[in-house]
Structure 1
Amino acid sequence: MFARYADGSALLADCPATAGPAGQRARQAAAVGLEQAVPKAFAEPRPLMAGATAAGEVLTALPVLYHTQRGGRLAADLARPLGEHTWPGAVTAGVEREQQES
């Protein structure tokens, strides 16, 4: 879960659906499919939530999106908090730090 406080700071909490190794394996299996779906959904820059929805279940796609961005496969303007105004795009498509505003 990702939460942003009013002062701009953030909290990232991992809340497993089930305890134990079986739950971990299920999350890892789901992430494998999303690791391919997320970059594909953002092959061209698009609004954050629209791309997350296109990749799969939003609540499972967003953590993969953040991981993919930290890994350098997606880029977005991070000068402002992430939101609907954020348009991530694939770095391989030539997007360096492209930001479009609605």
Structure 2
Amino acid sequence: MKFRTPPPSSSAKSSTVASPKRFSMRVAEWLLDSPRLGENSNVKHIAGRLLKQPAREGVVAAQSRLGQLMCRECGNARDRRIGQDLLRQAARAGDLRAQQELGLIED
């Protein structure tokens, strides 16, 4: 005997859209904060890629972490400038880490 299941509601679909952003943020923060993994340049590259989209969408924590990562780890001036711009955006939004980092950079 077959039972018909109701089609999934539209509210179930909308809740899954927001979760990948939070998931990528958590994974990136875990990678960067991990003592063993956080020192590896490949891991930093992966974390930066995970932070890129949330930072573009205006997530302040992602802007702050990606800005710090770009200012500290990137060797070219263009990436450091982008990192400083991200830090400024996060600092304007009230992120204390970004404000402290900008204080260190612009002194």
Note whether the superposition's TM-score is higher than 0.5.
no
Structure that is richer in strand per residue: 1
Structure that is richer in helix per residue: 2
TM-score normalized by structure 1? Answer: 0.34
Higher relative contact order (CA 8 A, sep 6+): 1
TM-score normalized by structure 2? Answer: 0.33
